[in-house]
Amino acid sequence: MKDIKIITEYWGKINPLKIEDYINVGGYTALEKFVSKMNPEKAIEEIQKSGLCGRGGAGFPMGDKLGMVAKQTGEKYFICNLEESEPGTYKDRLVVDNNPHLLLEGIIISALSIGAQKAYIYINGNYEKQKEILEIVILQAKEKKYWGENILGSKFSLEIEIFSGAGAYICGEETALINSIEGNRGEPKIRPPFPTSAGLFGCPTAVSNAETISNIPWIISNGGKKYSIIGSKNSPGTKLFLLNGAVAKPGCYEAPTGITVKKLIDDYAGGIKRGKEFWFAQIGGACGKLLLEKELKAKMEFGKECECSLGSGSILVVDKSVNIHDLLISWTDFFRRESCGKCVPCREGTFRLWEIAKRFRDGEISDRDKEAIQDILWTLDNTTFCPLGKFAGTAFRDAVGKGIVKF
């Protein structure tokens, strides 16, 4: 495959813990270019031109987000979101395992472009090894003056701190994440105000996903225009896809956006595993849609018009030997457990759906349950405070609506 590789280019080829290895393949030249030949406005302009949009799930344009914070004055923050607790998703962990300096360079450039004095890396509490890797590379980069006071002899300065999460899926949501750093319960905050105007400790803050950030050095080095012609028109670039379940070669693959699910399964993951029969695929983690065989030509992209949002980029291929009752319980139990409890429709709705899934497994589902399912799904979709509740019923709804389960 001769796909362009932006994030995975050097995976397995360089020692991730050696800054010299990264520098030898052109690492930190984007940062050098930023401090010596560009200015923040120019950098943000290039990122806007690139069309890069958020890889954390929502697909918001990165350049616009940086621009909003850049135009504010006073104390500001940049946060790298490495909470990554969407089931089936571990791409950001792989970025840290395989090329942590790429991420760090992206964080430094992004933070400087908005005029932040401090960058936080909010990392999943289970990612202990990755936290250690980041600690090592952060020290290495400091010695080379890539961050700290007067970066590479320039007027730019930046502090970087790692903040470790404590086990809560909702803390991946940016306002909950901010609450968590502030020492509060990790519940989402009401918006507006958006973090870009009043975020961490009330200061303008840009929160970006680790994969999004890892594209920044390439864009700064090669220009936004060159990036914008890769992949899908509305959400250009490459994306990390995680293929798991009944595929021959499970793993993480970088492919241009706009690729179909079918192509990912067949050309990247080696097709369906021998002896297994395809049933459906779940796209983008626990809150993702289910696609049947005939729907696999759906293109993987972000945006309002797309057929199936790619979400976190994880694709779980489910074969006919899987017990659907287990999966229904898995999905509903996940949201029941991870609902932060702030709003009633989600706290109650996720709990009831889980109870019904268990009764269904035990052959005790009643007519009342069957009717309640539709009400609960509607309530979750339309009345919850944050997207966790809204998407808590997606897989369940598809399982029922697409005839995967029958009562």
Partner 1 sequence: MIKKTIQNIILEFEPEAKNILPALKKISAVFGYVSEEDVKIMAEYFGVSESKIFETASFYDEIKTEKQPEILIQICNSANCTVNNSFSIISEVENFLKIKAGSSASSKFKLEEISCLGRCADGPVMVVNGKIFERVTKSSLHGILGEYL
Ligand X SMILES: Cc1cc2nc3c(=O)[nH]c(=O)nc-3n(C[C@H](O)[C@H](O)[C@H](O)COP(=O)(O)O)c2cc1C
Interface residues toward ligand FES, by CB under 6 A: 87-88
Encoded amino acid at 90, one letter = Y
Q: Does 282 bind partner 1 (CB under 8 A)?
A: yes
Instruction: State the minimum distance, in angstroms, from the CB of residue 188 to ligand SF4.
Output: 5
- Cα–Cα distance for residue pair 262/279, rounded to 1 Å: 13
- Cα–Cα distance for residue pair 188/49, rounded to 1 Å: 31
HSE on the CB side for 76, CA within 13 Å? 25
Backbone angles phi, psi at 277, to 5 degrees: -115, 120
Q: Does 175 bind partner 1 (CB under 8 A)?
A: no
Torsional sign, CA 319, 389, 381, 56: negative
By beta-carbon proximity to partner 1, the closer residue of 184 and 382 is 184
Name which of ligand X, partner 1, ligand SF4, none residue 337 binds, using a CB cut-off of 5 to 8 Å depending on partner kind: partner 1
Name which of ligand X, ligand SF4, ligand FES, none residue 340 binds, using a CB cut-off of 5 to 8 Å depending on partner kind: ligand SF4
Name which of ligand X, partner 1, ligand FES, none residue 105 binds, using a CB cut-off of 5 to 8 Å depending on partner kind: none
Q: Which of 6, 34, 83, 336 binds ligand X (CB under 6 A)?
A: 83
Report the alpha-carbon angle 183-186-188, nearest 5: 125
Q: Does 349 bind ligand X (CB under 6 A)?
A: no
Tokens of 97: 């395992």
Backbone angles phi, psi at 355, to 5 degrees: -60, -40
Site string for ligand X, 40-69 (x = CB under 6 A): --------------xxxxx-x---------
Instruction: State the minimum distance, in angstroms, from the CB of residue 367 to partner 1.
Output: 27
Torsional sign, CA 169, 171, 172, 176: positive
Q: Which of 180, 205, 212, 214 binds ligand X (CB under 6 A)?
A: 212
By beta-carbon proximity to ligand X, the closer residue of 84 and 254 is 84
By beta-carbon proximity to partner 1, the closer residue of 26 and 251 is 251
Per CB under 6 A, residues contacting ligand SF4 are 170, 188, 339-343, 346-347, 384-386, 388-389
Q: Are 211 and 57 in contact (CB under 8 A)?
A: no
Backbone angles phi, psi at 87, to 5 degrees: -55, 140
